[in-house]
Amino acid sequence: MKKVIQTDSAPKAIGPYSQAIRVGNFLFASGQIAINPAIGELVDGIEAQTKQVMENVKNILAAEGMDLSDIVKTTIFLTDMNNFATVNEIYGGYFNQNPPARSCVEVSKLPKGALIEIEVVAYK
Active site residues: 104
Within a 10 A sphere around the Cβ of 34, how many other Cβ atoms?
27
Strand, helix or coil for residue 122: strand
Contacts of 27 (CB under 8 A, 6+ apart): 5, 20, 21, 60, 61, 64, 66, 70, 120, 121, 122, 123, 124
> Which residues face 40 on adjacent strands?
none
